[in-house]
């Protein structure tokens, strides 16, 4: 899955012949899963129509501060557009537009939006070869890069003038590749490998029945999706659950029983930087599993149980440099029990859930957790969506690697 998936891209189109390429560029962004809004300078509409870019982006195209045909004269708010974007791309960026960006000469909606942008800004120059090398253009390049803007270098090739040389706007596929590489390089968990467990385990009684719990797996899947979004290589070991990952870069290992999960965790653990044990693993399993379905004949029926292997304790016992995070779901003496678990299982951090808290626990969209680290620093959090809790957990991981 592209790092552009879900990104909000504000595309500024200025008036050069290369504007015709923006139709392909918008199409590639949409194909990658991005959301796109387009701002055109008045001159750019001579080269590509707003209707084309509106159709491809699935959004209205903006060109002026208000729509002249609109009797109510609704204002196109450049500040709102700038704040909406995860990043802004000006392509093609003509010599005229680059000069305005560099000097703050704000005479159109695109420049006003650029000057309001707090997000990263990329620009893809497009002009004839002599213009590209002119000292004034080079000065614009220098100023914009000093502002923190990122230049997507022009390519060499045949130009509209009939000459051949540097100044041709990068091809749409190359712009997308540049953006993906640059965004990926800045993700905080790039180069980190994270093992995450999720969901319940089912411990067989017979071929039909099992002992399980009410865990849906949502918390673990949310952590996995967020970790992948932050650039990590993710291995998700999932018990029986209906959830699917949102990022096809996540390696999913499907398991059923506690023993299956134990084996899968130990297979991958030595190679990871972080392990987050969010699964609700059964503490006990039937000592004997019937080979045939048990018939309902006796008035009473007993199942002898035996302990399952403690996955988290086993990982803590062989821990080297891994950052190990466990979960604790408690109903009483929550803090003290969580502290004991940190010591007994050699954890770096525990995420404590209490069933006493409304909105927390299994089969909920929300969670209310308390973080306790190995030094017993306690940090209670507010009730949040599980997606937001996943962000908080991974912020702890990021902090660990940036200390």
For residue 295, CA distances in Å to 92, 137, 288, 298, 299 come to 74, 85, 16, 8, 11
Contact 167, 138 (CB under 8 A): no
Of the candidates 53, 119, 58, which has an alpha carbon nearest to the alpha carbon of residue 83?
A: 119
7: tokens are 């990104």
Residue 83 CA, distance from chain mean position: 19
Rounded to whole angstroms, the Cα distance separating 334 from 328 reads 8
Rounded to whole angstroms, the Cα distance separating 391 from 65 reads 37
Looking only at Cα atoms, what is the longest distance across the chain?
Answer: 94
- Please classify residue 348 by burial: count the beta carbons closer than 10 Å to its beta carbon, then call 0-12 exposed, 13-18 middle and 19+ buried: buried
For residue 293, CA distances in Å to 206, 207, 210, 288 come to 6, 6, 11, 13
DSSP one-letter code for 11: E
How many residues belong to the chain? 403
Which of helix, strand or coil describes residue 123? strand
3-state helix vs strand vs coil in the chain, percent to 5: 35, 25, 40
Catalytically annotated residues: 213
How many beta carbons lie within 10 A of that of residue 48, not counting itself? 22
57: tokens are 């982006």
Q: Which helix (H) or strand (E) holds 188?
A: none
217: tokens are 């797996």
Which of helix, strand or coil describes residue 301? coil
Residue 319 CA, distance from chain mean position: 28
Q: Which residues contact 146 (CB under 8 A, 6 or more apart)?
A: none
Which of helix, strand or coil describes residue 4? coil
């Amino acid at each position: 899955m592209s790092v552009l998936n879900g990104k909000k891209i504000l595309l500024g189109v200025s008036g050069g012949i290369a504007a015709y390429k923006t139709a392909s560029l918008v199409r590639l962004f949409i194909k990658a899963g991005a959301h796109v809004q387009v701002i055109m300078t008045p001159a750019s509409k001579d080269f590509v129509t707003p209707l084309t870019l509106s159709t491809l982006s699935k959004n209205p195209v903006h060109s002026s501060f208000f729509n002249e045909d609109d009797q109510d004269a609704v204002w196109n708010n450049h500040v709102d557009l700038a704040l909406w974007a995860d990043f802004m791309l000006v392509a093609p960026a003509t010599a005229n537009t680059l000069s305005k960006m560099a000097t703050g000469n704000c005479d159109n909606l695109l420049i006003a939006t650029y000057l309001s942008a707090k997000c990263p800004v990329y620009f893809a120059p497009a002009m004839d070869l002599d213009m590209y090398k002119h000292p004034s253009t080079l000065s614009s390049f220098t100023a914009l890069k000093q502002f923190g803007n990122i230049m997507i270098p022009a390519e060499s090739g045949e130009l509209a003038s009939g000459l051949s040389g540097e100044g041709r706007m990068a091809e749409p596929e190359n712009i997308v590749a540049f953006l993906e590489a640059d965004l990926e390089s800045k993700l905080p968990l790039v180069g980190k490998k994270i093992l995450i467990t999720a969901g319940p385990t089912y411990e067989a009684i017979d071929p039909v029945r099992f002992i399980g719990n009410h865990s849906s797996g949502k918390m673990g899947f949310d952590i996995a999706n967020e970790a992948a979004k932050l650039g990590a290589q993710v291995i998700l070991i999932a018990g029986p659950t209906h959830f699917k990952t949102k990022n096809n870069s996540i390696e999913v290992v499907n398991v059923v029983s506690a023993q299956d999960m134990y084996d899968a965790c130990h297979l991958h653990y030595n190679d990871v930087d972080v392990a987050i044990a969010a699964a609700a693993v059964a503490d006990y399993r039937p000592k004997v599993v019937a080979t045939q379905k048990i018939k309902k004949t006796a008035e009473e029926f007993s199942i002898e149980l035996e302990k399952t292997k403690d996955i988290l304790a086993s990982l803590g016992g062989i821990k080297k440099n891994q950052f190990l995070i466990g979960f604790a779901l408690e109903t009483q003496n929550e803090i003290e029990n969580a502290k004991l678990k940190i010591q007994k299982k050699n954890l770096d951090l525990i995420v404590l859930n209490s069933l006493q808290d409304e909105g927390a626990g299994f089969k909920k969209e929300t969670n209310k957790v308390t973080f306790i680290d190995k030094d017993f620093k306690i940090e209670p959090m507010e009730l949040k969506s599980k997606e937001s809790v996943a962000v908080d957990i991974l912020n702890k991981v990021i902090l660990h690697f940036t200390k």
